[in-house]
Amino acid sequence: MIALVALIGALASSLAALRVYDQELSLDQLVLARSIDTHANAVQDRLGERELLMRVAVGLFRSPSFYQSDTLRPLRPAIVASKADFAVVSWISRIEPKDLAAAEAELKRAGYPQTSIRNYDDSPLDLKSVTDPQWVVMDVEPKADKSAVFPGRSLQKSPLIGHVLERAIKEDKPISSDPLQLFGDGPMGVVLAAAVSRDATSDILGFITISYRIAPLMLPNDDVSPFSVALIDPRDESQELRSDAEGSVTVGPVRRPDGTQGWARTVIFGDRDWTLIYYPKIEPSVRARNIAGVVGLIGIALTSITCGLFGYVAYSNLRLTREIETRIDFERRLTAVIDELNHRVKNILAVIQSIVTRTVRPGADLNIARELLIGRIHAMSHVVTLLSDSQWQGVKLKGLFEARAIPNADRISLDGPDLVVSARAAQSLSLLFFELASHSDEGLSLVGKHPNVVARWSIDGDGPEPMLHFRWEEFNTSEATRRPDSDFGRTLLDRVAPEALGGTSKSYFTDVSYIYELVAPMKTVVDALELARTGRLLVPAKRT
């Protein structure tokens, strides 16, 4: 009987250990795969943002003279936005042989250390023997010691960049280079290049190139991450690029040519595929084997106690089942959160695309359009920051009037209850307030001073449902002194914002002021959690 109990106990322990091993291995592989997918999607989103930045830069690019040395100045705000992995931006101009002397004079006027037109490797170029147009670096941002030596170099024969520029012309899209040492001896990075054409023609004016450090762009490693990530070198698939904690990139042989049990993902950047390999810091099979071993030892140790053995096995199975269900439920919730985040990001990008399209239109004054575009996008960025701080649970209406979000905030007096508006309403109201505030400083008012602005809002609860009444009034302003709203602004004030909030709006001039009024139901404006705490709706906001 003892031998039979021992045999049954050993068999039961072995089966339990095998089951635990299979469950833990499957679960760990699932968790690791989810983490890898999340990381790869984040890298792809980051790369997509950089390509979008390049397309916006090309779309906004205007050059009064194709070989001027301050061509990138209008793009400086957009360039600074990617400072986390950004290295240098260059303007490469297509210059005819007859204009090379003028280009040298322009480089000298700009104060660059080397003002002669020369080859890509800094060797002299005989201008008298040149018969073809040259692709010459004429401007860089930022103008640092390392980047200032590039202006004046002709790059069409460069083995690293020349073919990238040729592809950018042929395919009319941003093209990325192979990994290379930035600044010759600097960090490892890639160069994204796009061709710039003359308006309504196919004539190539030149190229915009943006150099990125590859470590923060594709290889961000986290100490708490369950894996490390490497990039297959597109120049040699037997080599991989690795980044350490300080962001230094080294090249070495691929540690597992088979793709580390399938932990490989492909991302797209610059019209080419990049393969990321993920190395688990702890192999799922090792952890599963350790846990299974522990379960087996416990089962063998309890073999002599029959009742205890059966009770322990039943309890262990129940505990493991609940743990697995808990982890699977967590993964489902995490997937839902990621899907929701992707949805929100796509919505924000769609709004920004609409802002860019409607702001930078043919015939518009580029200086005004650029300032409006930057302001509108900054207003969107501010409200996204507020929503992120509140985990997308809404923001205070008063917070949308901060000086970081709208111009002339110091001349706006606020009067109304302390409301927490929903995420959707906050995005619409942020653009609405910016559009109103951006016109409140156009020229002088009727009395020769900047107009004062009063923003009031109140809640009317007399009807079947509470309604928000918002009133914007600019005093000492008339239709003759106030600049008319742009097409985008008029559409936002009269249609987009009211429809987004399910309400109505109107604007008009009195003898001494300009007034904009918006009426919308509270159920579309106020955050649902805040609406339940109705007592706070009656707390007046402090006057500023």
E strand or H helix at 204: strand 204-213
pLDDT in tens, 462-482: 667 888 899 988 888 877 777
At residue 523, the pLDDT reads: 84
Q: What backbone torsions phi and psi does residue 65 show, to the nearest 5 degrees?
A: -145, 130
Least confident of 91-95, 106-110, 523-527, 532-536: 532-536
Residue 543 counted as domain residue: no
- d(CA 99, CA 101) in angstroms, rounded, equals 6
Q: Which of 130-144, 189-203, 337-351 has the highest mean pLDDT?
A: 130-144
String of DSSP letters for 333-344: HHHHHHHHHHHH
Strands (E), 214-358: 227-232, 239-243, 249-253, 264-268, 273-280
Residue 188's nearest CA partner among 217, 166, 154 is: 217
Nearest 5 degrees, angle CA 375-CA 509-CA 455? 50
Residue 257 shares a structural domain with residue 282: yes
How far apart (Å, rounded) are the C-alpha atoms in residues 131 and 19? 76
Tokens found for residue 156: 């069409």
At which residue do the structure tokens 């987009």 appear? Answer: 496
DSSP, collapsed to helix, strand or coil, labels residue 33 as helix
SS3 at position 350 = helix
Dump pLDDT digits (tens) for 261-310. 558 889 999 999 999 988 887 776 776 677 767 766 777 776 666 655 55
The pLDDT value recorded for residue 321 is 83
Peptide bond into 64 cis (omega under 30): no
For position 497, which CATH number holds?
Answer: 3.30.565
Choose the final residue of a domain: 337, 359, 381. 359
Task: Report the Cα 8 to chain-centroid distance in Å.
Answer: 59
381 and 354: one domain? no
User: Length of the chain in residues, anyone?
Assistant: 544
Q: What is the model's pLDDT at position 259? A: 43
Answer whether residue 36 shows pLDDT above 80.
yes
pTM of the predicted protein model: 0.50
Assess whether 513 and 400 both reside in one domain. Answer: yes
Q: Which domain holds residue 390?
A: 366-538
CB atoms within 10 A of CB 42: 12
Hunting for tokens 């493991």 — which residue is that?
320
- The strand ranges marked E within 46-113 are 86-95
Number of domains the chain is built from: 2
User: Looking at 331, 359, 387, which one is the last position of a domain?
Assistant: 359
Residue 544 lies in a domain: no
